[in-house]
Amino acid sequence: MALLFSEVTLTVDQNQVIFLASGTPKTAADLDGWTAYEDFMEKHPESDEIKVHVDSYLYGEEEIEIANPNEVAYFTMRSDRDANFLSGHCKSAGHSDFVIQNGQTEALEDIINKFTFIS
């Protein structure tokens, strides 16, 4: 079994946080629930855009499964203790970049709530 997880870098101006998350995040919704993401967003509510860089990794071989939060916590501990953990013990599974428009989720919810649905 190969576990899929990612190193996520969030950047606003000169402020940055790096943390590990399950799978390969592609949207803000994929990062919901990760403490580092939520703390970073709370510290930068005035920022219009948050740049996101994702480096994905596989730990192990054969069939791919998404790492669960406990496994991500273990990988975080390993990478904290060994700066070469990701490059030396994991296989790269690609990378991606996207931008989170701050407030985009709330704005979409506001638009949806303005519609009257007829059943």
Q: What is the pLDDT of residues 51-66, one digit of tens each?
A: 999 999 999 999 999 9
Task: Band the pLDDT of 32: cuts 50, 70, 90.
Answer: very high
Max mean pLDDT among 5-14, 39-48, 98-107 falls in 5-14
The per-residue pLDDT of the chain, averaged, comes to: 89
The mean pLDDT of 32-44, rounded to a whole number, is: 93
Question: Is residue 20 within 8 Å of residue 70, measured between CB atoms?
Answer: no
Largest CA distance in the chain: 57
- Amino acid of residue 66: I
- Amino acid of residue 65: E
Q: Which two structure tokens, joined as six digits, stand for 91?
A: 């296989």
116 has pLDDT over 60: no
Q: What is the pTM of this model?
A: 0.83
